[in-house]
Amino acid sequence: MPKKKAAPKAGVPVEHWKPDPEEHDFPAAHDFLSLVVSEETAVSLVDALKAATMFQRKAKDLLRASRESLLPRANPHVAADLAKVAAGDKLSPVLLVRGRALDGVPLVIADGYHRICASWYLDENADIPCRIVDFP
């Protein structure tokens, strides 16, 4: 039986997501990933993200799995994403690299950290479209 969608919070804008990441999200993911893995691995992960299928997860779960802190609403990037949603603009899905819990490696948010935080403020239980790949 399919999961029942929760009704949106009264007075809160409903998120709208683009069907696919924007083209500039992939170089942004590469820029971040190349700081935490080798250049060769970063390129391989981004290539895999381009081909990955979409799935959905909740903002609260993405933050927990990544061990990232929730940024404040006043963060300029979070505020800009909240303004986009309020204006009816669509957000780009997030790009992720799966962690390895048994090795103590958290989920890596390659691109979309601010969008996840903005989503949490709107509804921490709302589904966020994601692409995810595994570390090689």
Whole-angstrom distance, CA of residue 11 vs CA of residue 55:
27
Q: What is the pTM assigned to this prediction? A: 0.88
85 located within any domain = yes
Q: Are 94 and 115 in contact (CB under 8 A)?
A: yes
Domain that holds residue 55: 25-134
Q: Which two tokens stand for residue 12?
A: 């809160």
Q: Are 53 and 95 in contact (CB under 8 A)?
A: no
76 located within any domain = yes
20 located within any domain = no
| Confidence tier at 102 by pLDDT (50, 70, 90) | confident
pLDDT higher than threshold 80 for residue 79: yes
What CATH number should be reported for the domain holding residue 91? 3.90.1530
92 located within any domain = yes
109 located within any domain = yes
pLDDT one-digit tens code per residue, 21-47: 999 999 999 999 999 999 999 999 999
The more confident residue out of 132 and 14 is: 132
3 located within any domain = no
Q: Are 104 and 67 in contact (CB under 8 A)?
A: no
Whole-angstrom distance, CA of residue 99 vs CA of residue 37:
13
The more confident residue out of 104 and 58 is: 58
14 located within any domain = no
56 located within any domain = yes
Q: How many domains in the chain?
A: 1
Q: Which two tokens stand for residue 70?
A: 């929730």
Element (H, E) at 56: strand 54-58
With a pLDDT cut of 90, the percent of the chain lying above it is 81
